């Protein structure tokens, strides 16, 4: 197998696996085949890039629906299908149905897995009943159910092989993330930052589902899996660093949820992910930096030990949840070849770090509207090195409880939420779906009760002053920290992007359009309106010699929560309902997979 892998290390997406003998070789080899889509992130480096090039800038205008599939479920459809050989695996929001569809037989249902879950989990889910997708490994489809059950399903028969309980919904813990298989383990975090959950990242044995390790976002070193060798910006974090910046025992209800995307460097044997906002949203109730919420983590896959961390927003005052994806690539920065990690944070800054040691290389705003901080201090000799320089005018802490701080950009849903960006090794650009949204934010005192909301803030959202568009789709140069081009969208771009080797980039809109743009210029090449708003992630595969592009449509998620849950009060949905009220004029609830191809 080792010789076979080395002999097949050709093409951009294959390069990332060469020399990594200790990783899951079978899954790596499968991911090198551009005809399939075997990981929720496209590959371990989170590129969401395909080497397929049948669909080009010249012919994409002829793209048309080839077939469709109704999921039978409404509300927000995030994530994307998997394609393994002749079978497509499709997931739904709660109740988290999984379908296996026969690509050789007009999408015939081969099997259907429908878990029985207590609907009482629904009100515990923060921002719609979404699920971000499935994982595959060793003949198993991995599903993280809303009720925190992680189940391994036989990919051929649809029968459960094993299941394990990873959390407790009665305490506010739920699952919305897509699991990720790394080596012989399944990686999965937890949702619940709005319920005071002290979150974690955990590894479960792929063979039997048993817990292998668990690393919390805050707490003593024994819980966070930190040591004297763990660093932050090149310096040791210090003993029990996950306690000292919290008041008394607040870290025990500290938040730092881990429901985003996970990436992996097999050569370094490190996984990367982000931890979310601290609990509560009222910063006055939790003085200090609140480590290690809002943090990029690099952990050893075998042991969970943290090699390095970087906290993007110390003492978060705006719910700038740090769970967005980490995209791994090799870049030459200032004349030096680097193994880098690129992250587009909710706080509006695009970060580039050296992923071997956590050195901060670039931190720049990827939306000009961002105003809560003037910049990130890049002076290594400064006491505030690596920290955002917060402007008092937009500090909800300095303004105080029961004060409505106005005009903060971005809003709490960030310049980008979980909707994942794509990276093209052809252009060396990142293609980023963004929110162009500001907010008013009023904190208030709140008490903690296990299993009850622990938010403590009222929000309203709207476009930046003098503007009407609430979204942009941008191309970003991660080496320079610059926007290369930007396409305006009426609403936030809440779908995941897809880049292809033919320099066509795809994304979806909240009104329901699948769009294709030129990777180099951003010129719109194609659009087609699907039955419902798109918050799913675009993917591509090849079958029978034909390239297909597929996307789930079904409006919902945080931006579409008003439609999904029937909410009408402007401040409902943590402030999103009022900001996206006009969305109901363009789309309605749905749950459909639409698969596109060029005419035969």
SS (H, E, C) 381-418: CCCCCCCEEECHHHCHHHHCCCCCEEEECCCCCCCCCC
Which residue in this structure is represented by tokens 């037989």? 105
* Residue 69 reports pLDDT greater than 90: yes
Strand ranges in 511-568 using DSSP code E only, listed in sequence order? 513-518, 524-529, 539-543, 546-553
pLDDT value of residue 106: 87
The CA distances from residue 161 to 156, 227, 407, in Å, are 11, 36, 51
Q: Determine, yes or no, domain membership for 457.
A: no
CA distance 389 to 373: 5
Q: What is the CATH number of the domain that holds 259?
A: 2.140.10.10
pLDDT value of residue 12: 45
pLDDT value of residue 377: 98
Average pLDDT of span 296-324? 98
List 36, 221, 265, 319, catalytic entry: 319
pLDDT value of residue 15: 44
pLDDT value of residue 14: 45
* Residue 17 reports pLDDT greater than 80: no
Active site annotation includes 223? no
pLDDT value of residue 28: 87
* Residue 321 reports pLDDT greater than 60: yes
CB 220 within 8 A of CB 240: yes
Average pLDDT of span 73-98? 97
User: Picking from 13-17, 84-88, 517-521, 559-563, which range would have the lowest pLDDT averaged per residue?
Assistant: 13-17
Average pLDDT of span 360-366? 98
Greatest mean pLDDT among 296-305, 556-565, 579-588: 296-305
Q: Determine, yes or no, domain membership for 295.
A: yes
Which residue in this structure is represented by tokens 């319920």? 195
Q: Determine, yes or no, domain membership for 206.
A: yes
Name the helix (H) or strand (E) containing 482. strand 482-489
pLDDT value of residue 558: 87
The alpha carbon of 476 is separated from its chain's Cα centroid by a whole number of angstroms, namely 17
pLDDT value of residue 574: 85
DSSP letter at 34?
T
User: Which SS3 state, helix, strand or coil, does residue 231 take?
Assistant: strand
pLDDT value of residue 560: 87
Q: How many domains does the chain have?
A: 1
Average pLDDT of span 393-409? 97
Q: What is the mean pLDDT of the chain?
A: 94
- Place 99 in a pLDDT band, splitting at 50, 70 and 90: very high
- Place 23 in a pLDDT band, splitting at 50, 70 and 90: very low
What is the tens place of the pLDDT at every residue in 182-235?
999 999 999 999 999 999 999 999 999 999 999 999 999 999 999 999 999 999
* Residue 21 reports pLDDT greater than 50: no
Q: Determine, yes or no, domain membership for 247.
A: yes
- Place 404 in a pLDDT band, splitting at 50, 70 and 90: very high
Structural domain range at position 472? 2-444+462-597
pLDDT value of residue 4: 32
* Residue 361 reports pLDDT greater than 60: yes
Q: What are the counts of helices (DSSP H) followed by strands (DSSP E) for the chain?
A: 7, 40
Average pLDDT of span 250-261? 98
* pTM, 2 dp: 0.95
CA distance 52 to 69: 23
CA distance 136 to 35: 16
Q: Determine, yes or no, domain membership for 456.
A: no
pLDDT value of residue 20: 36
Q: Determine, yes or no, domain membership for 451.
A: no
List of residues 6+ apart from 395 with CB closer than 8 A: 317, 372, 405
- What share of the chain in percent tops pLDDT 90? 91
Q: Which residues of 129-165 are buried (b: 16+ CB within 10 A; e: fewer)?
A: bbbbbbbbbbebbbbbbbbbbbbbbebeebeebbebe
Q: Determine, yes or no, domain membership for 325.
A: yes
Average pLDDT of span 453-461? 96
* Residue 301 reports pLDDT greater than 80: yes
- Strand-pairing partners, residue 213, are 203
Q: Determine, yes or no, domain membership for 216.
A: yes
């Amino acid at each position: 197998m080792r010789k076979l892998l080395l002999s097949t290390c050709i093409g951009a997406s294959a390069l990332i696996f060469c020399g990594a003998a200790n990783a899951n070789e079978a899954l790596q080899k499968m991911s090198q085949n551009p005809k399939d889509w075997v990981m929720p992130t496209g590959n371990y480096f989170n590129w969401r890039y395909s080497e397929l090039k049948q669909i080009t800038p010249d012919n994409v205008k002829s793209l048309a629906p080839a077939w469709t599939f109704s999921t039978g479920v409404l509300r927000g459809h995030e994530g994307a299908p998997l394609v393994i050989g002749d079978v497509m695996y499709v997931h739904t929001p709660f109740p988290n149905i999984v379908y296996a569809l026969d690509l050789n037989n007009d999408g015939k249902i081969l099997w259907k897995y429908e878990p029985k879950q207590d609907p009482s989990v629904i009100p515990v889910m923060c921002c719609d009943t979404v699920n971000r997708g499935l994982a595959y490994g060793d003949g198993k489809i991995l599903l993280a159910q809303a009720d925190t059950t992680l189940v391994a399903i036989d990919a051929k028969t649809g029968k459960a092989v094993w299941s394990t309980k990873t959390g407790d919904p009665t305490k506010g813990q739920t699952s919305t993330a897509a699991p990720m298989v790394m080596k012989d383990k399944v990686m999965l975090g937890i949702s619940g930052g709005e319920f005071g959950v002290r979150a974690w990242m955990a590894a479960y044995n792929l063979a039997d589902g048993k817990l292998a390790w668990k690393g919390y976002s805050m707490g003593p070193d024994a819980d966070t899996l930190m040591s004297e060798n763990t660093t932050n910006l090149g310096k040791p974090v210090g003993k029990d660093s996950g306690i000292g910046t919290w008041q008394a025992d607040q870290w025990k209800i500290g938040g730092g949820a881990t429901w985003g995307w996970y990436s992996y460097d097999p050569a370094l044997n490190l996984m990367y992910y982000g931890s979310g906002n601290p609990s509560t949203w009222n910063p006055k109730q939790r003085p200090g930096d609140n480590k290690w919420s809002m943090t990029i983590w690099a952990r050893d896959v075998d042991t969970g030990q943290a090699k390095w961390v970087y906290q993007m927003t110390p003492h978060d005052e705006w719910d700038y949840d740090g769970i967005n994806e980490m995209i791994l690539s090799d870049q030459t920065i200032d004349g030096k070849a680097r193994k880098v990690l690129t992250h587009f944070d909710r706080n509006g800054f695009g970060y580039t770090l050296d992923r071997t040691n956590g050195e901060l290389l670039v931190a720049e705003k990827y939306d000009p509207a961002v105003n809560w901080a003037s910049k990130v201090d890049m002076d290594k000799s400064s006491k505030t090195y690596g920290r955002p320089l917060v402007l008092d005018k937009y500090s909800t802490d300095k303004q105080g409880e029961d004060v409505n701080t106005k005009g903060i950009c971005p809003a709490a849903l960030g310049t980008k939420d979980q909707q994942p960006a794509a990276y093209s090794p052809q252009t060396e650009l990142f293609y980023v779906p963004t929110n162009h949204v500001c907010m008013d934010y009023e904190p208030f005192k709140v008490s903690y009760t296990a299993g009850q909301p622990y938010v403590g803030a009222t929000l309203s959202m709207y476009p930046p002053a003098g503007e009407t568009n609430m979204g942009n789709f941008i191309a970003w140069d991660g080496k320079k920290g610059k926007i290369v081009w930007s396409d305006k969208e009426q609403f936030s771009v809440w779908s995941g992007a897809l880049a292809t080797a033919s320099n066509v980039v795809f994304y979806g809109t909240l009104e329901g359009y699948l769009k294709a743009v030129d990777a180099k210029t951003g010129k719109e090449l194609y659009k087609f309106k699907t039955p419902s708003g798109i918050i799913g992630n675009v993917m591509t595969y090849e079958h029978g010699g034909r390239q297909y592009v597929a996307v789930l449509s079904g409006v919902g998620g945080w931006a579409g929560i008003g439609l999904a849950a029937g909410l009408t009060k402007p401040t409902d949905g943590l402030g999103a309902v009022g900001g996206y009220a006009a969305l109901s004029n363009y789309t309605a609830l749905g749950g459909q997979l639409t698969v596109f191809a060029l005419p035969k």
